[in-house]
Amino acid sequence: MTDSSTNRKVYEGILMQLNEIIAEENLRPGDKLPSERELSERLSVGRSSVREALRALELLGLIETRRGEGTFLKHYRHNRLIDLLGSYILRDAKTKKDLVEMRKILELDAVRLACTRAGTRHFEEMERILDSAWDKLERGEIPWEEDYLFHRVICRSSRNSVLHRIWAPLVEYSGGIRKDSIAREGRARIAHQEHVQVMEAIREGNAVKAMEYMKVHLDNSML
């Protein structure tokens, strides 16, 4: 029992330290992680323990190993685990309702903060996303990715890192709800118009109007 507990602590410790290395070195999806040997030396643990921790991350789809090249970070949004967890979590109607409610709370506050904190780069990004979404709509496609990106840039423009970190997994888990909504007949074009209204209200710095537009948008999106 003691050995098992000790092994678990070593394993968990490696994962925590790996996370610190990723943060300290500002590694991003696509970047290469240090080698097994280097991690073993830096963390003062056996290579077998490092290998076990890396294998767990690979099974979760958070990293990938390329033969002859090394180990690289993957973007969590490209991970099927998110979809599986979301499907499991949202089996409960009460949880689904709570998740939708929490998203509204976060996004309305994000819009309010964005009205005084959004900068030029945020508006430029919003405009690029909206242009890309419109191009897809004109081709008869549904702008799934652009819908997500528009809401993400608003959260980022709130300049509250904690809000954004809470929002991101919340929206990932509710991805099924979001996709079902925007796939409704005519909904994608209306959602695009609502996005434009929200952006313009933020640009005006009118928090009351921006929050009202966002509330209407979210209510319509979550029917």
| CA atoms of 51 and 74, how far apart (whole Å) | 17
Residue 180, Cα to own-chain centre: how many angstroms? 18
| CA atoms of 192 and 131, how far apart (whole Å) | 10
Tokens of 103: 């998203």
Q: What is the set of domains in the chain, with CATH numbers?
A: 3-73 (1.10.10.10), 80-220 (1.20.120.530)
Tokens of 145: 């990715």
pLDDT (tens place) for every residue of the chain, 223 residues total: 334 455 556 767 888 888 788 878 888 888 899 999 999 899 888 888 888 888 878 876 778 888 889 998 886 555 554 454 455 455 666 767 777 888 899 999 999 999 999 999 999 999 999 999 999 999 999 998 899 999 999 999 999 988 988 888 777 766 666 677 788 888 999 999 999 999 999 999 999 999 999 999 999 887 6
Q: What is the pLDDT of residue 57?
A: 80
pTM: 0.64
| Strand runs labelled E in 59-182 | 63-66, 70-73
Q: What is the pLDDT of residue 46?
A: 87
* Torsion sign across C-alpha atoms 189, 191, 192, 194: positive
| CA atoms of 37 and 41, how far apart (whole Å) | 6
* Torsion sign across C-alpha atoms 126, 128, 130, 136: negative
Nearest Cα to 131, choosing from 199, 50, 203? 199
Three-state DSSP state, 166: helix
| CA atoms of 90 and 135, how far apart (whole Å) | 32
CA distance between the termini of the chain: 51
Q: What is the pLDDT of residue 82?
A: 47
Strand partners of residue 71? 65
| CA atoms of 218 and 154, how far apart (whole Å) | 14
